[in-house]
């Protein structure tokens, strides 16, 4: 890791940021423009990039001031660069919309300076990272600070933007991107993750076109439809070869990722807050911070990109006492009983779970107010003692006596119209005054842009968390924002309220996770509707999808693993026929898929299992407990499937002393050739013993020829093989 500053004739100040596998080079032109010179494979002599022959845009032709063909690091607005700008402003006093950003100075900062109020990657020791701050200014007093942080031993580059009004009149921000990148070659493909409820994280790839393509959310959450991640890859790029330029936004609300190829075939790639309806007034002396964007360059395909994100997010984004601890095996009540339970039923379930040596019993929705369906009571976080047959504390203590920890579901951000909270404070819901509010799942969203509502929520949740020995909280969120407005600030734009909501939510979460450091928090938004790096800063795991079918989960978890560490994914074994898609798969296959994630558990009626099934489950839990230390720290390699319609992955110990490969078939096809699965990520010169057969293999053999996979001749068959280094 290094940041070098150098000077050349054409570019009086230049910057070169180097990670083990990438170089990022910028130069300040003589007229103060910050020019992007290179992002990609490491360059030994960054000075060479500043040669006049390498800068065809200089000198400009006489009378020619268009900037459309110049690779700008962070383009201002209203001037001669007519591509999508990185920032767009308006000075209401005179209607001026220009941000003419010119270089002012830079600073090299040790470590990584932290922002207030937003989730972010952090350092544990200052020596781990270095930060470059470059300051650009507009003559009217707009100051734009660009921050770039690189870490030791990582190919991630963390960017963010801070805008300050140093002038004398107010300025309104309409758009502020966290990162903008001008790449010289448009022959790229865009990889991103799209989906819907119960069908999240589908990987899609398409060529970048000569127009503006955008991936975004206007849902008030990062959303099921698009994830705040995209990668530009060279055609043919696969898991282990090809170039990748990836960007991921550390934010949980409305976001925007754009690619734009201009008339001169240059590709602009931007990521940041969604500018949809967004305006933010900055008075003189005020500043605004964008969320962070985490860029990764990989010259070794998508696998290296994923593992770079996994390491950074698992170790330097997730925080707290659970960050490095393998998680307890849980039983969640949702798919087992839904809203239909009483004390006897719960204790019956809990006993069955305890017999299987489950470690955490999670009571999902339906324990409070008079909530026997999803029509009421959100906001009234008072346990329904009639239904529970006791206090929450008594129930939790009963569960504890069975040898398990107790966990609880909450959906704090919501309010049901049928609730005492709403009847007392109808103006606490997000809504445009004098407009009807749309209901979704018969609920409204609390206006977390308001400090009084945030404070209420902190108190309400603290009371719940203190009321019983609660070891785990599932924090759910089940609807999109609509009619975005605040009764407290009716004049503010939808985009501003949506962002203020996120800042309010982050404040609530920061307070609660700090106040309750021992609780394991899991975020959820109808499954993976807010599975993003922003949430990960507060809650180290997330419910990956409401679809718990093992076969659907292959795409869901495989896509999710493109960016997010498996340790953060909650994956449960559920009942068959599966409740979402009706498919019947074996317990083995359901387990083989679920052990990909660090939040492992069961979500079914344990009392309904046959004796034979109970035996299988007992063995699964025993094996999981033995292996979870290895699984939690292992590195994920998505493997090239041995045949069409198959999914395979390897979990490899960082020191390569041990690994497991899992292969799952979707549909069985008769008359097929033998299946050879090539492993990745292991040491070629080590000898490994496959534990079930006792056979010894050499790493190089498994890397090149692969292992012969034997599967039952049925749909949805799977196998999992464990290998340990032969000493």
Site string for ligand DGJ, 296-335 (x = CB under 6 A): --------------------------------------x-
> Nearest approach, Cβ of 625 to ligand DGJ (angstroms)?
24
What's the Rg (C-alpha) of the chain? 27
Stretch that binds ligand DGJ, among 9-17, 91-99, 347-355, 521-529 (CB under 6 A): 521-529
Whole-number Å distance between alpha carbons of 58 and 248: 33
**Nearest-5° Cα angle at 658, 652 to 662:** 55
Decide if residue 543 touches ligand DGJ (CB under 6 A).
yes
Decide if residue 527 touches ligand DGJ (CB under 6 A).
yes
* List 546, 547, 555, 635, residue binding ligand DGJ (CB under 6 A): 546
Whole-number Å distance between alpha carbons of 531 and 569: 9
Q: What is the DSSP letter of 705?
A: T
212: helix, coil or strand?
strand
> Nearest approach, Cβ of 453 to ligand DGJ (angstroms)?
22
| Tokens encoding 95 | 């209607």
The residue with tokens 């196998």 is 719
Decide if residue 406 touches ligand DGJ (CB under 6 A).
no
> Nearest approach, Cβ of 442 to ligand DGJ (angstroms)?
12
Contact 497, 283 (CB under 8 A): no
Cβ distance to ligand DGJ smaller for residue 230 or 378: 378
Cβ distance to ligand DGJ smaller for residue 179 or 443: 443
Decide if residue 524 touches ligand DGJ (CB under 6 A).
yes
> Nearest approach, Cβ of 367 to ligand DGJ (angstroms)?
11
CA dist 687 → 702, 709, 710, 725 (Å): 10, 19, 21, 6
* List 260, 447, 476, 635, residue binding ligand DGJ (CB under 6 A): 476
Whole-number Å distance between alpha carbons of 561 and 620: 23
Residues 477-496 that bind ligand DGJ (CB under 6 A): 478
Q: What is the DSSP letter of 443?
A: B
Determine whether 546 is an active site residue.
yes
Decide if residue 409 touches ligand DGJ (CB under 6 A).
yes
The residue with tokens 């920061």 is 510
Cβ distance to ligand DGJ smaller for residue 313 or 334: 334
Number of H helices, E strands in the chain: 13, 38
Contact 568, 541 (CB under 8 A): yes
Cβ distance to ligand DGJ smaller for residue 81 or 365: 365
* List 270, 526, 567, 574, residue binding ligand DGJ (CB under 6 A): 526
* List 359, 364, 522, 549, residue binding ligand DGJ (CB under 6 A): 364
Cβ distance to ligand DGJ smaller for residue 156 or 363: 363
Cβ distance to ligand DGJ smaller for residue 119 or 527: 527
Q: Among residues 494, 538, 532, which one has the least CA distance to residue 515?
A: 538
Decide if residue 365 touches ligand DGJ (CB under 6 A).
yes
Total Cβ atoms within 10 A of residue 584: 11
Cβ distance to ligand DGJ smaller for residue 97 or 442: 442
Residue among 81, 546, 549, 555 flagged as catalytic: 546
> Nearest approach, Cβ of 600 to ligand DGJ (angstroms)?
15
# binding residues, ligand DGJ (CB under 6 A):
12
> Nearest approach, Cβ of 603 to ligand DGJ (angstroms)?
8
Residue among 262, 476, 532, 588 flagged as catalytic: 476
Total Cβ atoms within 10 A of residue 206: 10
Whole-number Å distance between alpha carbons of 160 and 162: 7
**Dihedral over alpha carbons 510, 513, 516, 522 (to 10 degrees):** 150
The residue number whose beta carbon is nearest to ligand DGJ equals 365
| Tokens encoding 505 | 């939510």
**Cis (ω within 30 of 0) for the bond into 577?**
yes
Buried b (16+ CB within 10 A) or exposed e, 404-442: bbbbbbbbbbbbbbbbebbeebeebbbbbeeeebeeeee
Stretch that binds ligand DGJ, among 350-358, 524-532, 659-667, 717-725 (CB under 6 A): 524-532
**42: which strand partners?**
none
Cβ distance to ligand DGJ smaller for residue 189 or 374: 374
Determine whether 145 is an active site residue.
no
> Nearest approach, Cβ of 97 to ligand DGJ (angstroms)?
43
Helical pair 494-515 and 451-466, crossing angle rounded to 10 deg: 30
Which residues are known to be catalytic?
Answer: 476, 546
Q: Which residues contribute to the site for ligand DGJ (CB under 6 A)?
A: 334, 364-365, 374, 409, 476, 478, 524, 526-527, 543, 546
């Amino acid at each position: 890791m290094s940041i070098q500053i150098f000077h050349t004739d054409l570019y009086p100040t230049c910057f070169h940021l180097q990670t083990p596998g990438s170089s990022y080079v910028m130069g300040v032109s003589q007229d103060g423009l910050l020019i992007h010179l290179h992002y990609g494979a490491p360059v030994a002599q960054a000075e060479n990039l500043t040669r006049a022959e390498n800068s065809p845009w200089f000198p400009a032709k006489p009378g020619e001031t268009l900037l459309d063909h110049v690779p700008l690091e962070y383009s201002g607005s209203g001037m001669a660069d007519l591509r999508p700008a990185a920032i767009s402003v308006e000075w209401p006093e005179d209607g001026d919309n220009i941000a003419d950003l010119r270089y002012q100075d830079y600073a090299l900062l040790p470590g990584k300076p932290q922002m207030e109020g937003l989730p972010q990657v952090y350092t544990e020791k200052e020596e781990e990272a270095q930060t470059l701050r470059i300051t650009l200014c507009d003559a009217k007093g707009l100051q734009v600070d660009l921050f770039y942080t690189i870490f030791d031993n990582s190919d991630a580059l963390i960017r963010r933007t801070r805008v300050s009004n140093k002038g004398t009149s107010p300025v309104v921000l309409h758009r502020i991107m966290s990162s903008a990148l001008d790449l010289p070659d448009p022959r790229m493909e865009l990889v991103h993750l799209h989906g819907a409820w119960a069908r999240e994280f589908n990987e899609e790839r398409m060529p970048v076109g000569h127009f503006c393509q955008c991936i975004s959310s206007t849902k008030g959450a990062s959303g099921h439809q698009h994830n705040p991640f995209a990668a530009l890859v060279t055609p043919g790029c696969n898991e282990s070869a090809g170039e990748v330029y990836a960007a991921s936004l550390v934010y949980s609300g409305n976001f925007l990722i754009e690619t734009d190829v201009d008339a001169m075939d240059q590709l602009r790639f931007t990521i940041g807050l969604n500018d949809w309806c967004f305006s933010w007034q900055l008075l003189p002396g005020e500043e605004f911070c964008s969320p962070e964007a985490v860029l990764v360059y990989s010259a070794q395909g998508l696998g290296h990109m994923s593992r770079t994100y996994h390491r950074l997010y698992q170790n330097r984004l997730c925080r707290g006492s659970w960050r490095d601890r393998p998680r307890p095996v849980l039983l969640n009540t949702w798919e087992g009983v839904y809203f239909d339970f009483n004390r006897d039923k719960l204790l019956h379930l809990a006993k069955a779970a305890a017999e299987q040596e489950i470690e955490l019993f999670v009571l999902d929705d339906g324990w409070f107010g008079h909530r026997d369906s999803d029509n009421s009571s959100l906001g009234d976080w008072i346990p329904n003692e009639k239904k529970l047959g006791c206090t929450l504390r008594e129930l939790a203590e009963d569960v504890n006596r069975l040898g398990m920890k107790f966990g609880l579901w909450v959906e704090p951000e919501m309010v049901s119209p049928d609730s005492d909270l709403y009847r007392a404070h109808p103006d606490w819901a997000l809504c445009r005054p004098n407009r009807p509010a749309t209901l979704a799942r018969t609920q409204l969203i609390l206006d977390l842009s308001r400090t009084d509502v945030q404070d209420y929520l902190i108190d309400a949740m603290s009371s719940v968390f203190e009321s019983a020995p609660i070891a785990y909280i599932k924090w759910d969120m089940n609807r999109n924002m609509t009619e975005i407005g605040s009764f407290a600030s009716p004049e503010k734009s939808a985009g501003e309220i949506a962002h203020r909501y996120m800042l309010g939510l982050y404040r609530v979460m920061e307070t609660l996770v700090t106040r309750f450091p021992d609780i394991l928090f899991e975020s959820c938004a109808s499954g993976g509707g807010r599975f993003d790096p922003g949430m990960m800063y507060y809650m180290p795991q997330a419910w990956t999808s409401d679809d718990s079918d093992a076969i659907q989960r292959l795409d869901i978890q495989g896509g999710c693993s493109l960016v997010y560490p498996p340790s953060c994914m909650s994956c449960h074994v559920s009942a068959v026929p599966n409740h979402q898609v009706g498919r019947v798969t074996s317990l083995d296959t359901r387990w083989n898929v679920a052990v990909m994630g660090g939040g492992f558990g069961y979500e079914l009626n344990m009392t309904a299992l046959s004796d034979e099934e109970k035996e299988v489950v007992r063995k699964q839990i025993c094996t999981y407990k033995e292996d979870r230390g290895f699984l939690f720290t292992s590195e994920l390699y998505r493997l090239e499937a041995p045949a069409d319609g198959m999914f395979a992955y390897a979990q490899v110990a960082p020191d390569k002393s041990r690994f497991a490969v899992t292969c799952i078939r979707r549909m069985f096809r008769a008359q097929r050739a033998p299946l050879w699965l090539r492993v990745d990520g292991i040491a070629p010169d080590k000898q490994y013993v496959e534990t079930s057969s006792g056979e010894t293999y050499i790493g190089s053999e498994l890397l090149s020829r692969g292992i012969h996979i034997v599967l039952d001749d049925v749909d949805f068959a799977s196998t999992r093989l464990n290998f340990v280094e032969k000493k």
